[in-house]
Structure 1
């Protein structure tokens, strides 16, 4: 059984706020598959874990 936190899906504006990035940059990350996402109907959603993984990757890359 998973926790509610790992199942949380974020909207693009929520990802923008968390990463402090613009809309185009977030969509570029999604398009280039550096940020995982899913489509629900016509809506794009990003799992909270994908944002965490992206941040971890960028920290490790910078080290």
Structure 2
């Protein structure tokens, strides 16, 4: 069962390689997540976090 729109978790996506970003975004959306991004650099992703403010726990994967 897919989560409803208000239950979906948001994933901040930072990836500089376009093909990898498109694949990751498709996989995350298919898994029921909302994707924030893509952000082409870590600095852009951190700026997005600063602007929106984290509302849930998060982790970084490289």
* TM-score computed with the length of structure 2 as normaliser: 0.27
Normalized per residue, which structure has more helix?
A: 1
* TM-score computed with the length of structure 1 as normaliser: 0.27
